[in-house]
Every structure is written in C-alpha cells, then in structure tokens.
Amino acid sequence: MEFLLERGGVLFEFSLILLIGYLFGNLANFFKLPRVSGYILAGIAMSPSLLGIIDRNFLESADIVTHASLSIITFLIGASLSWKKVRQFGKSIALITLGEAELAYLFVTITMALYLYFTQGESISLVVALALLFGSLASPTDPTATLAVIHEYRSKGPLTTTVLGVAALDDATGIVNFVLGFSIAIALTSGASLSLGSVVQEISFQILGAVLLGLLMGLVMFFLGRFAKERKEAVTLTVGMLLLTFSIARVLGVDELLSTMSVGIAIANLGNAWEEFEKPLENYIEDLIFTAFFVVGSAFLDLKVLLSFFPVVLIYIASRFAGKFVGVYLGGHISGAPEKVKKYLAFALFPQGGIVIGLALLAYQNTNFKEVGSILVNVVIGATVIHELLGPISSKLALTKAGEVSRG
C-alpha cells in the first residue's frame, strides 16, 4: 500500500477517499444509518492511526479540501435561513441559542474545574483558566453532520428550521464565548490586567466584519448570477465566490465560516435568487462535498487519544449535552416553542467538530498554556470522535421522533 500511495500521489489518495467513502455511505444506509456515519467510519478506518490509506503528508496538505468544503457547507446553512422561514420561529431561535450555548459554557466550565482541581494538582488560577477554555469550546455545534442528515432525509418542519437557525447562530455565539474565555484565561495565567475594551473590540471585529463581508460578497454573487445562462454555471460561480470570500476573510482576520454563512443568508433573502443556486448545488456537488469533508476530517482523529483521555472526554461530553438540553428546554419554554422542539432539539445539536478543533489549537499554541495545552487539544479531539460518530444518529433520531423525516 505504501508503494501505491507513494507512486499514485495525491490523486490516488483522493480517489480512494471518494470511492471508499461512497461504499461506506451505502453500507451505512444498508444498516438504516445516515450516509454521513459511513463517511466518518471510512475516515477513521483509513486514517494514519489505523490502516494508513490516508497518510499524514496528505492530511498536512488537506487544508484546501476542508476549507473548500466548509465554505460550501456553511453557505448552505446560511441559505436555509430565509426570513420567510425563520420569522415564525425567530424568537425561539434567539432565546434557545442563548440558553443552550451559555448553559453548555457554564456546565462544562464548572464540571471541568472540579475534575481538574481534584485530579491534576495544578494551581487554582491554571485550573480555572483551563476550565474556562473548555467551557468556551462547548458552545459551538458542528452543523455539517445535521445538515447532511437533513438533506439526505429531506426533513422539513419546525424542528428542522429551528435546528438550522440555532446551529448557524451557535458559531457566532461560540466565537464570542471563546474570545471572552480566552482573554480571561490569559489574564489568569499571565497576571496581566483584563481589558474589557480590547475584548469587546476583538469580538465586534470578528463577528461584524465577517457578516459585512459575507453580505457584500452575497450581493456581488447575486449580480453575477444574473449572467448565468444555464443553471450548471451557478456551480462555478458559487464555488468561486465562496472560496474568494473565505480567503478574503482570512486575510482580513475575520471569521471565515461566518463570512461564507452570511453569503448564503444574503442569497436566501434576495428575491428568488436562491432558486437559481439550490438545484445545481444539490445535483452536481453536494454529495461530493459531504463525502470529502467527513472522510478527510475524520482521518485526523486518533483513537489512541480517545483512549488516553477517555474519562475527561466523557465528563466534557456529558456536561456539554446537559447544558444544551436544559438550555434548549428553558429557552423553548420562555419563547413558547413547539413541544417537539423543546424535547428533541438538544439531540440534533449533539454533533461537534470542525471549528472547535481549530480554536483548541489556537489556545494550545499560546505560550501561557504550553504545559496544559495538550490536555485541551486531546480532550477536544477525543470528544470529536464520539460527537461526530454519534451525532448523525442522534440527529436522525430527533428528526424522526419529531415526525419531520420525509423518507428512509
């Protein structure tokens, strides 16, 4: 196999990613599981830590796959948030997001602080700092797995609309929590004074800058789309604009995923523009993107990490879900959300990955957390294994129980 990988090069590996991902997706369907579960299992099986079909050199240069996929996936999430769809549930989405994101933050911070204090023997300031970082990483939900399940089973209804809205806002809320938690953690470990002004400035720039960039690029995309003579041309335009938006966001230092998501929101709310882009994406590129993203993303996960930090991983997962479940129910109750939203939404918000790994690595690279940063990264990656494997199943179960699955 090593000889084939060496001689075949990147194209050979990428062909195996698509073909084996396709086979595992069909195998998952055979066992009545979502296709994305098969993609994740394929990635873990092909990873350097197991069969080694995907080697570390490929993963080190796989940014183009993950970034391009995330650009399109977040665009699809944003495009699902047309004002016509969300205005009926706007109050519920806002209050539920606030409840589940902040209670997940609080629950994880408290439980991790207690666990680290009694088991790691670190100073109180370092324990609190690390717990705050864990808490801030608990807020975001990885919407890609849920989106894949929604598209595969053609789910429609109040729960589907709410979960897409909450998952989209989770990214923004997660960034706010991380910037705040990260700033406090640095102050605790370095002894520096905490500047509220700099924290607010950083949050505002990250979020508002990303939204403004996305809306601007959405307007440009809408204008250029009027010259597309055939629907399939919309694929070229969409991918090109999203990759450009992602790249500009990186150069400017604003959040890339919020930027591409905002492009989708703009397109969804500019008349009937979304109708020109939806079918081409579904017909020509959607399955390719989901397959590549989940297989490659899962190949980063190391089962040895999961086993090494398994108790901490379980505490993190359990406290995060508890926070989201309580937050969803309280937010749903206050806002008058439908009963099935209050009962099942937390299960659809179970998946987590993608952005949290990047945020964890950002904290790890800071010299203030050099000694304990490995704990943070390993727990987050270990939790991602479980979240991404069980997430699609949990999402399908929630949508099915809510009676919003159209097939399968």
Rounded Cα distance between 38 and 41, Å, is 5
Beta carbons of 355 and 140 less than 8 angstroms apart:
yes
Is the pTM above the cut of 0.85? no
More confident site: 282 or 327: 327
For residues 219-243, give the mean pLDDT. 81
* 128 belongs to a structural domain: yes
* 19 belongs to a structural domain: no
Distances (CA, A) of 122 to 194, 310, 315, 361: 22, 20, 18, 21
Q: Which residues form the domain of 329?
A: 66-401
Distances (CA, A) of 98 to 169, 176, 385: 9, 12, 26
Beta carbons of 77 and 264 less than 8 angstroms apart:
yes
Q: How many domains does the chain have?
A: 1
* 99 belongs to a structural domain: yes
Q: What is the CATH number of the domain that holds 332?
A: 1.20.1530.20
- Residue identified by tokens 């194209």 is 11
User: Quick one: CA dihedral 163, 33, 313, 57, positive or negative?
Assistant: negative
Beta carbons of 239 and 267 less than 8 angstroms apart:
no
* 3 belongs to a structural domain: no
pLDDT tens digits, one per residue of 49-102 = 888 788 877 777 777 887 888 788 778 777 777 777 667 667 788 888 889 999
* 116 belongs to a structural domain: yes
> pLDDT-derived band of residue 213, with 50, 70 and 90 as boundaries?
very high
Count of CB atoms situated within 10 Å of the CB of 98: 18
- Residue identified by tokens 């960039």 is 213
* 90 belongs to a structural domain: yes
Beta carbons of 10 and 58 less than 8 angstroms apart:
yes
* 145 belongs to a structural domain: yes
* 78 belongs to a structural domain: yes
Supply the pLDDT for residue 4.
Answer: 62
Exposed (0-12), middle (13-18) or buried (19+): which is 20, by Cβ within 10 Å?
buried
pLDDT tens digits, one per residue of 245-282 = 999 998 998 878 788 888 988 888 887 766 667 666 76
